[in-house]
Amino acid sequence: MPKKLDPDTTPGEKLLRLFRKLMLEGKRHFLVELASEFGCSAQTIIRMVEEIVKVIGLHLDTGIEHKKRWYQIKTIARNRLGLDFEELRYLCVCRDMAGSALPEQVRERVDESILNLSMLMADQAFEDRDKLQKPQFNFFSKGKIDYSKHYTNIELLLKAADDREICQVFYKASGSAEEREHLFAPGKILCMGNALYIVGATVKADSFAKIHHLTNLAVHRISRVTPINRFYSFTLPEVELNSFGLPWHEPKTFRIKFTPGKASDYIRERIWADNQKLEETADQGVILELTTRSESELLAWVRSFGREAEILE
């Protein structure tokens, strides 16, 4: 009996791995490449493919290209998920757009879920599912934060927010030499400027029933999260997702004048808040009026324009 090319893998494991590869990667797989990848002979690959078709009942395309045999699984049954392949592409676009702020663990789960959905859909365009692995959008971010090492804290905060559970949070603020302990009631996690923030409120140890101070914590500055099995019943303020900046105080309205040229063009091309108003000036500049709950953030933003921006009131 000839010696096995891969003695550490059972025939059953190879069969399952081959089935998964053929199903999830909607493209032609050449016999010689499969034999090399799975560490077995071409005859073994042919036998396993025949077993998959016999048991599962899938439609198998095969042919010869450049004198090499290839296989490709196609499915022709209509999907019962209420989705079409174009909708799946939109999910992929959302994944690409949010990818820069997602922890690696989340990105991997999203990718796997999209591929599994494409398999379950069994769409007539199913042979194109390999395209889902290729990003259609690329985003460049400066100073990107790696949230993979913060994944456990993110999971704890999300669960605590769902359960309305107070957490002991150790947090090192920007510019601070030491971290501080907070009793924190977590709400929503927001993304702004390629960074994640948890919106919530601090409470005091002698009064878990009321808000001590509304605050936002940068997720990457949290070193430890510990749920304490105490729950809050108060209502956290709703976050206006299309407002300027994170909520810190009562709403304030500002009018900012931008000089003609690049600065005013930049302002016109973007939406800064749902409540914004744009007013053209006689010299072809523009005045932006908006309401914010983050005055310090707005002032820093205006200063970044230098002499090209001025707060009127």
CA distance 180 to 198: 16
What are the distances in angstroms from CA 299 to CA 127, 150, 224, 311? 52, 30, 32, 9
The tokens for 233 are 């019943």
CA distance 276 to 244: 9
Strand ranges across the sheet with 252-258: 277-280, 286-292, 252-258, 309-311
The radius of gyration of the chain's CA atoms, rounded to the nearest angstrom, is 28
pLDDT in tens, 28-85: 888 888 888 888 888 888 888 888 877 766 667 788 888 888 888 765 444 455 556 6
Cα 129–130–134 angle (5° rounding)?
115
- CB contact at 8 A, 100 and 137: no
CA distance 105 to 112: 11
pLDDT score recorded for residue 183: 95
Quote the pTM value.
0.56
